[in-house]
Amino acid sequence: MIRPLETILWGGAAVAILDIANAMTFWAIYNGATPQVILQSIAAGLIGQDAFSGGAPTALLGAFLHYFIATGIAAVFYLACKLWPTLLQRPFWSGVSYGLTVYLVMNYVVLPLSLASPLPFIPSWFLDSLLGHVAFVGLPLAYIAAWSATRDRATVTAAKA
């Protein structure tokens, strides 16, 4: 049995931190973007280009939205594990698959539906983002879910003893 709050909250926090650190690092190196601008770019998905003139409040909105989305991504993985428990048995492959799925959904469904201005194709960002979704979204979620399920089995076993 997999623990829902443990998987969703820890998984969401891990995804939020790792994913935003990846984006902030990439864009700081690529064009000197500040963390505030990265967070505002997330808020721009909801409020459009005005996010970039909103200062700290829109950066905070972006941080909230990022964590909310990451937690939603973790919740969907949790539900997938409930439907298909075999995902917990092979966390590496389920993590890689889920990371690629999240990349596709975010880039080809969510972002086009948002108010954010589309970016031009940047090969290095494409590669970083694709690999980042595997390494910093899918894999952490899969291993946190597997850990949660293992902890739950250990608790049930100890309670029966």
pLDDT of residue 159: 46
User: Which residue segment(s) compose the domain that 51 sits in?
Assistant: 4-154
Q: What is the pLDDT of residues 31-65, one digit of tens each?
A: 999 999 999 999 999 999 999 999 999 999 999 99
Domain-embedded: residue 47:
yes
DSSP codes joined into one string, 17-79: HHHHHHHHHHHHHHH---HHHHHHHHHHHHHGGGGGGSHHHHHHHHHHHHHHHHHHHHHHHHH
Q: Is the pLDDT of residue 161 over 70?
A: no
Q: pLDDT category, 158, cuts 50, 70, 90?
A: very low
Identify whether 96 is part of a domain: yes
In this prediction, residues 3-21 reach a mean pLDDT of: 94
24, 29, 33, 37: CA torsion to nearest 10:
-10
Number of folded domains in the chain? Answer: 1
Q: Is residue 15 in some structural domain?
A: yes
Evaluate if residue 160 carries a pLDDT over 60.
Answer: no
Q: Is residue 160 part of a domain?
A: no
Q: What is this structure's pTM?
A: 0.89
The reply to whether 159 falls in a domain is no
- List, for residues 102-155, the tens digit of each pLDDT value: 999 999 999 999 999 999 999 999 999 999 999 999 999 999 999 988 875 555
Mean pLDDT of 8-20: 96
Does residue 143 lie in a domain region? yes
Instruction: Choose among 65, 78, 110, 61: nearest CA to 9.
Output: 78
pLDDT exceeds 60 at position 157: no
Q: What is the pLDDT of residue 153?
A: 57
pLDDT over 70, % of the chain:
93
Q: What is the pLDDT of residue 137?
A: 98
What pLDDT score does 49 carry?
Answer: 96
For residue 161, being part of any structural domain is answered with: no
Please name the amino acid found at residue 66: H
